[in-house]
A = this chain, B = another copy of it.
């Protein structure tokens, strides 16, 4: 299948490498530097004990996309500038969006495409250079239909499926995104503000206290009180399995990049405001991270 992957970040690079094993992949990047680099050197995928070089064709993301399936892997805050390009992709081509948070749902409403899929990526990936990505944590990609029929979704899943890069279908996209949102909102901003590894949220009693308080606010805003125990257990389990990792938001802060705070905590904060709920810890985290972004850009 001809697959277009938009976005040359860690997720875009990771998917390009794996999917190019069975498919003809084109990676659409924002900078000509990255396009040239990938066309000349390919993409290197670093795994635990090995390194694989894949020859992948790269293009500028402003170029016309002509593929049978398009994966959108850019950060949520880069979506608006991409909309005119997505708009030019024929209506019958399925699009799969792989953003964190829920901020991107607003944009999808207006899209004319017949099949829009949403996915959450449970892999860990670290962009080492413009053309090198490290697969730091093995996981699953969960996909659900936002718009379109189940058969198409099944067909796409079966096409993408690989034993060492699995895909799973989720019945309800909203539940799927919310599950990821709860985890991201609990772990990312706290670890970014405190500049700690994910595991420190468990091993340091004071940080664990903060985690529980933040979690309570998230549960309250999303009206998930009934599933509280399940959700908290999954956060603890993720902190354990990624205990030595830095969250993506902390990495963004350390590398002076914009963070995904709007799509993660911003969404919850707005929801709380509409529901007239007080979420002071989320508010504190939101304002701190916005300040850290502001400061970075200012330097």
* A200 interface hit (Cβ, 8 Å): yes
CB distance from A37 to the nearest CB of B (A): 34
Whether B284 contacts A284 by the Cβ 8 Å rule is yes
Q: Per-position contact with B for A203-241: 1 when CB-CB < 8 Å, else 0?
A: 011110110010000000000000000000000000000
CB distance from A110 to the nearest CB of B (A): 30
A287 with B193, Cβ < 8 A, contacts A200-B295, A280-B280, A281-B280 known: no
Q: Which of B195, B207, B209, B291 contacts A207 (CB 8 A)?
A: B291
Nearest residue in B to A285 (C-beta to C-beta)? Answer: B284
Q: Which of B209, B288, B291, B294 contacts A287 (CB 8 A)?
A: B209
Whether A284 contacts B281 by the Cβ 8 Å rule is yes
Residues of B within 8 A of A196 (CB): 295
Query: What is the CA–CA distance of A106 and B207 in the complex, to the nearest angstrom?
Result: 29
* A111 interface hit (Cβ, 8 Å): no
Residues of B within 8 A of A280 (CB): 280-281, 284
Q: Which of B204, B206, B281, B288 contacts A194 (CB 8 A)?
A: B288
Among A193, A195, A287, residue most surrounded by chain B Cβ atoms (within 10 Å): A287
* A290 interface hit (Cβ, 8 Å): yes
Whether A294 contacts B194 by the Cβ 8 Å rule is no
Residues of B within 8 A of A200 (CB): 295
Nearest residue in B to A208 (C-beta to C-beta)? Answer: B291
Residues of B within 8 A of A294 (CB): 204-206
**Interface SS of A by simple majority:** helix
Residues of B within 8 A of A210 (CB): 284, 287-288, 291
Query: What is the CA–CA distance of A210 and B295 in the complex, to the nearest angstrom?
Result: 14
Nearest residue in B to A289 (C-beta to C-beta)? Answer: B206
Nearest residue in B to A280 (C-beta to C-beta)? Answer: B280
Nearest residue in B to A203 (C-beta to C-beta)? Answer: B298
* A292 interface hit (Cβ, 8 Å): yes
CB distance from A221 to the nearest CB of B (A): 15
A206 with B284, Cβ < 8 A, contacts A194-B292, A295-B196 known: no
Residues of B within 8 A of A287 (CB): 206, 209-210
Among A194, A291, A298, residue most surrounded by chain B Cβ atoms (within 10 Å): A291
Other 15 A-B pairs with CB < 8 A, given A194-B291, A280-B280: A193-B193, A193-B288, A195-B195, A196-B295, A200-B295, A204-B294, A205-B291, A205-B294, A206-B290, A206-B291, A207-B288, A207-B295, A210-B284, A210-B288, A280-B281
Sample of 30 A–B contacts (CB below 8 Å): A193-B193, A193-B194, A193-B288, A194-B288, A194-B291, A194-B292, A200-B295, A204-B291, A204-B294, A204-B298, A205-B291, A205-B294, A206-B287, A206-B288, A206-B290, A206-B291, A206-B294, A207-B288, A207-B291, A207-B295, A209-B287, A210-B287, A210-B288, A210-B291, A213-B284, A280-B280, A280-B281, A280-B284, A281-B284, A284-B284
